[in-house]
Copies of this chain bind each other. A is one copy, B any other.
Amino acid sequence: MLVTTHLFTPGPTHMPEAVRRAIDVPLQDHRAPDFHKLVLPLQEDLKKIFRTESGEILLFAGSGTSGWDASLANCLSPGDKVLTASYGHFSDLWIAMCKQHKLEVEVIEGAWGEAAPIAEYAKRLAADTNHEIKAVLVCHNETATGVTSDVAALRAAMDKVNHSALLMVDGVSSIGALEFRMDDWGVDLAVCGSQKGFMMPTGLCILGVSQKALKASEVAENPRGFFDFKGLLNQYKGGYFPYTPATTLLHGLAQSCLMILEEGLDNVHARQFRLAEGVRRAVQAWGLELCSRRPEVHSDTVTAILVPEGFDSNDVLKTAYNDYNLSLAAGLSKVAGKVFRIGHMGAVDELMLLGALATTEMVLNDVGINVTLGSGVVAAQKYYRESKQAEPQKAVA
């Protein structure tokens, strides 16, 4: 293949070169005398990115999905009641995993394209005076619909009624890219993977665990298997693992953390907003609708776009992939065929997004969705120019 397919899925994302090279290392002994020199600083950097001082960040060979498993398995017991909401593919998958773990799942029916229904959560929490709910689950950034939910508000709702449940948050496609404040928001379990905001290959499950969650894990009765917190922590606190960790990916993650922290979390979030906003302006110019229903909930890591009635979004995907070397993301489950998605996390910039938007315009026309060629590009160009001029000037070499 002459040109590598251009990847605009919401994870995996484009790796920065420095991350890619950090991973491309010979193998090493994870029980070597100096191995902790890799692991302990990495733990500290991850804490900064999760914005937690009191919690622990655990690492497993796995993925974001593993993280859901690990959270439920370690901190809950069969029959425990959890409160959650259904408003997208990934929130639903988490619900399915709860059921698999034999939890009693109270599901708030939300809407695809809407954020987590915090008011309804609040109502249910208030009604739960006996604190039968042991954990409250929420998907921070629903990757399927491109919607970001208000975790701080959910915490406020819990605090208002002094609810004792654990707060478990799927931050798979948010942490590292979008604002996430584990301590401020009182998140007890923050689930992440390596292949989204951390701009890495898939292969690591990254888990933020509060002290409260650690305590819960001591009494919970679900079998945890591989993901057992206690089994890990004993050695992990000293910078080691009780089993073979994915060392090459740990090196990449260390590099990724370094880059994120050097840029500064606030700058990363601002960059994510800016890149995403350009894409949204393009979609608006095309006359198409976002899956996300309100500006307040638009995700800055992924944009889900509805194709007009009568069209199949899979045609968009296939044409993009086969004819233009462009990898867009599919609509999933309820919105399969209705939505295509553009990811804008990782090592991506304006030029790449403009190329992707221009190509998408061609693709849309090819499948019969007659957007005006160039219309989205121009909208994005204008926004990118304006917003760049608002930035502090860089010195010209």
Contact = CB atoms under 8 A, between A and B. Distances in A.
A28 B7 contact: yes
Q: Which has the most chain B C-beta neighbours within 10 Å: A34, A193, A378?
A: A378
Nearest to A27: B12
A329 B29 contact: yes
B12 A100 contact: no
Interface in A241-262: 243-249, 259
Contacts of A28: 5, 7, 12, 327
Nearest to A33: B397
Contacts of A1: 16-18
Contact of A3 (B9, B349, B356): B349
A144 to B, nearest CB: 12
A9 B29 contact: yes
Interface residues of A, number: 112
Interface string A184-226: 0000000001010000011101000000000000000011111
Contacts of A249: 201, 203
Contact of A245 (B202, B321, B373): B202
Can you tell how many copies of this chain the complex includes?
4
Contact of A385 (B9, B347, B351, B366): B366
A226 B66 contact: yes
A33 B318 contact: yes
Interface string A169-196: 0000000000000000000000001010
A126 to B, nearest CB: 30
Contacts of A25: 17, 21
B225 A397 contact: no
Q: Which has the most chain B C-beta neighbours within 10 Å: A13, A61, A100, A203?
A: A61
Contacts of A14: 3, 26-27
